[in-house]
Amino acid sequence: MIKTDYIISKIEKYASLELAESWDNSGWQINLEHDYTNKVLVALSFTRDVLEQAVTNDCDLIITHHPLIFNSIKKIDNSLITEAIKNNICVYSAHTNLDKTYGSTTDALCGVLGLQNLITVDDYIKISHLKDEFALEQMIKNIKQALNLEHLKLINPNNIDIVKNVAVCAGAGGSFIDKLKNYDIDLYITGDIKFHKALEVEGFAVADIGHFESELPVLPLIQGLIAKTKVEVIIAKEEKPWTVV
């Protein structure tokens, strides 16, 4: 067992809470003030299935990327919260602070994709200038293979066919479409591009790999970070909340 404060200090040293957006709720979600932690479960989101895995694996601390609580609450009537408390499980989240730190969710995604020489052009966006040009078709194949994707959404109104410069943003990166028009890029890799944002794409192609898929690569990073405290850490088995039929 390891002191809980020591585990949290490792996370906050890596991704300071000062980096979090003002609207965000990174940090403690459920703090039962455990002096010590026996085992940690790492997940993107706190769901019923994740909670059940924590209970089954005797985990008393869950670290998630997405916060459980965003808005203020006046009473505790959320069944997930009450079940976590009944099972003596704490929940802590590292959200936009993890998205913006050095070694972020986007950095983790770039690592899996094999993108190097990253330039930060926004708190959330990285640009990689490839050593060689690639056909867009080959880039798409490489992305799908690296992330084990059966499909992705391709938005390519200008019929881009050669890729040299790639922008990347893990999570929902649609809000950056306009900003990226100011940069010399051929392909933007992100998730959750909404219909109207897709209509705004101009001058480059967009590979929408999905919000869930784009953030999964950060979990092994967090697992390794926490494992340095010598506590046992496991990664939750999570599924997308939908199927394609």
Confidence of residue 45 (pLDDT cuts 50, 70, 90): very high
CB-based contact 189:168 (threshold 8 Å)? yes
Q: What is the pLDDT of residue 76?
A: 87
The CA-based diameter of the chain, rounded to the nearest angstrom, is 57
The label of the residue with tokens 């056909």 reads 135
State mean pLDDT over 167-191.
Answer: 97
DSSP string of 136-205, one letter each residue: HHHHHHHHHHHHT-S--EEE-TT---EEEEEEEEEEE-GGGHHHHTTS--SEEEEE---HHHHHT--SSE
Q: Which of 199, 197, 210, 104 is closest to 148 using CA atoms?
A: 210
The overall pTM is greater than 0.85: yes
Residue 33 has pLDDT above 90, yes or no: yes
State mean pLDDT over 185-210.
Answer: 97
Torsion of CA 31, 35, 41, 45, to 10 degrees: 10
CB-based contact 105:15 (threshold 8 Å)? no
Q: What is the pLDDT of residue 234?
A: 98
Q: Domains plus CATH for the chain?
A: 2-98 (3.40.1390.30), 105-214 (3.40.1390.30)
Residue 242 has pLDDT above 90, yes or no: no
